[in-house]
Amino acid sequence: MNSIGFRDSSVVIIETSRTVIRGGLGLHELLRTPSIEIQARVGLRTGTSSLGLGSAEAGPSTATSRAASAAPQPQPLKVTDYLVGPQLDDAIAAGQELVISWPFSEGQIGDFMQAEALWKYVLFTGLQLRRVQNESPVLLSLISGLPRDAYERTGQIFFERFNVAAFSILDRPMAQLYAAGALSGIVVDISDTLTDITPIYDGLPLTGSRTTARVGMRHCERFLAHLLRNNTSVSTVLAELAIPPAEHPSALRALARQVWQTGLVRVPVDGIALREADDEGVTDIAAVLVAGKEKAVIESGMKRRATAKASAAEQARAKELEALDLITIEFRGKEVTLGKERHRFCEPLFDLNLLALGNDAGLDEHASPEGEGMSMTLQGAVGHAVRLADVDQRQYIWHGLIVTGDIATHVKGIGPALQTHLAPFILSSADQHNEVQPKQIRIVKVPEYFAEYRERGDGLAAFLGSSIVAKVTFHDGKNFISKTDYAEKGPKAVLEMSASLF
């Protein structure tokens, strides 16, 4: 199809999710994390125009900004009318009257002009490419299950508006699974208020099996805020900060957000919070250096030696504190002590009855209520999605469970916890097994040898997987559209580059 080869340094990766867009320029020997990340939202100043606004939103599904006033003679909107990235952040901070929209929040491309404004910012402001001399091929990862005309329209934007040298589209769940080195599996992508679940078999997403659960990180955050209300240390700090009772829910949500985003949550498995295994010794110095863990190993060794020198009473006190699992953090200039309640953060994902308890923490200005999707627990939605697949595909799907999203970056143990909750979907009796009945659920994750992704691996699986695919795509002469192809066939050429679009 194509015989063009591109320099790795010119390849652009753009990952597009419901709420975040990430971008990077260049493929390197060690694949790098994205160099730009913005929220997938656009802002329009009140009074700019009354045409093409679509739904006004301040969170992925709801509106809190005031609607634009109707102009006597409205003018058509232009891409340049939209505020994106830091420019939008500054306008919000300044208290400007804005209509804020999230064009990808519904799992579709709700407004192509808004989508163009976001992609344009990534290419020409974030990555500093030049449209006139654009020699970069672009691989774009998108939400799975878009209609064919959406792919055509997207290709048209990139060739005709951005003047890209070549273009390829990859379904985002496929990229996430590829990053974990699997071709069949199920991708559980947990976002703010929704969780997308996509079964994949032999490298192709099973569109008819895709399921969206009406639960996400924001519900967990609200639940943790509810639990923190009963922490005496938190109550004391709220009083010391002289925060009015009416503002307590907002402050508690901010504290809950700080707790999970700084990696202080470990999800219990079978009722026991996960613990990092202590290093008993270093047997392979080279492996430690390659993994970049030398600092952690040194600190761990120093800690063990210090503990060994402590008195029996000190060691007993240390074990007592360890059992309480207390931590002290700084919140708005004050020290706050938290206990094991922080590890209950993810419980609403597995028990919808707990969502009501989080309601007293209130929804903040960026949250949406329940949104579209199914009112099911996370494990129930995953089991439902797998049941929609053909019987002979299910055992392969169960062998590639990956949990991704920001929660996978910051919260330890979410994958094993989900695996435990999914156990009822696997027959336990050996006598009941047959050739198509799965015997186990296997977790897959981003391998440790991707050094740049070690800290945020599964959370950035879509970007990593896109980079891996791009490295092959733009060298093997297949699965991308060149300018020549587009000139000959037009937007429909985009549909020919991937079996998933047939």
CATH code: domain of residue 260: 3.90.640
Angstrom distances, CA of residue 465 to CA of 15, 235, 405, 450: 10, 44, 14, 11
DSSP 3-state assignment of 52? coil
Q: Which residues of the chain are modeled with pLDDT < 70?
A: 1-4, 49-74, 270-311, 314-323, 358, 360-373, 427-436, 477-478, 498-502
10 Å CB burial of residue 95 (0-12, 13-18, 19+) is: exposed
> Nearest to residue 185, comparing CAs of 419, 372, 498?
419
The single-letter DSSP state of residue 122 is I
Task: Please check whether residue 273 lies inside any domain of the structure.
Answer: no
**Same structural domain, 155 and 113:** yes
- 204 & 89 share domain: no
Q: How far apart are CA 384 and CA 214, in angstroms?
A: 14
Residue 237 has a pLDDT of: 95
The residues, any chain, with a CB within 8 Å of residue 361's CB and separated by 6 or more, are 222, 223, 225, 226, 229, 249, 252, 253, 256
Question: Which of 16, 12, 201 lies closest to 109, judged by CA?
Answer: 16
Structure tokens at 299: 């600190």
Do both 406 and 465 map to the same domain? no
Q: What is the pLDDT of residue 429?
A: 54
- CA separation for the pair 319, 81 (Å, rounded): 60
pLDDT at 297: 47
- Tell me, yes or no, whether 352 and 407 share the same domain: no
Residue 2 lies in a domain: no
Interatomic CA distance for residues 330 and 255, integer angstroms: 10
292: in domain = no
**Residue 289 pLDDT:** 41
In whole angstroms, what is the distance from residue 388 CA to residue 435 CA? Answer: 19
Three-state DSSP at 440 gives coil
pLDDT recorded at residue 72? 54
Distances (CA, A) of 335 to 309, 331, 348, 392: 29, 6, 27, 55
**pTM reported for the whole predicted model:** 0.83
295 lies in a domain?
A: no
Domains held by the chain: number: 3
- pLDDT confidence of residue 284: 41
Q: Is the dihedral of CA 391, 396, 401, 404 positive or negative?
A: negative
Domain residue limits at 207: 185-214+373-432
Please answer whether residues 206 and 200 qualify as being in contact, where contact means their C-beta atoms are separated by less than 8 angstroms: yes
Q: Is residue 320 domain-shared with residue 398, that is, in the same domain?
A: no
Same domain as 425, residue 340: no
Picking from 388, 413, 432, the residue at the C-terminal end of a domain is: 432
Same domain flag for 426 and 380:
yes
Q: What pLDDT, on a 0 to 100 scale, did the predictor assign at position 454? A: 85
Mark whether 14 and 153 lie in a shared domain.
yes
Does some domain include residue 207? yes
Which tokens in the block code for residue 244?
A: 């009015």
pLDDT at 49: 58
Are both 13 and 126 inside the same structural domain?
yes
Q: Are 114 and 163 in a shared domain?
A: yes
Do 206 and 235 sit in the same domain of this protein?
A: no
Regarding whether 204 and 225 lie in a shared domain, the answer is no
Within a domain: 440: no
Residue 226 domain flag:
yes
The answer to the question of residue 441 being in a domain is: no
Q: Which phi and psi (to 5°) does residue 28 adopt? A: -120, 170
pLDDT digits (tens, 9 = 90+) for 443-468: 999 999 998 898 887 999 999 999 99
CATH value at residue 398: 3.30.420.40
- Sign, CA dihedral 71-74-79-81, equals negative
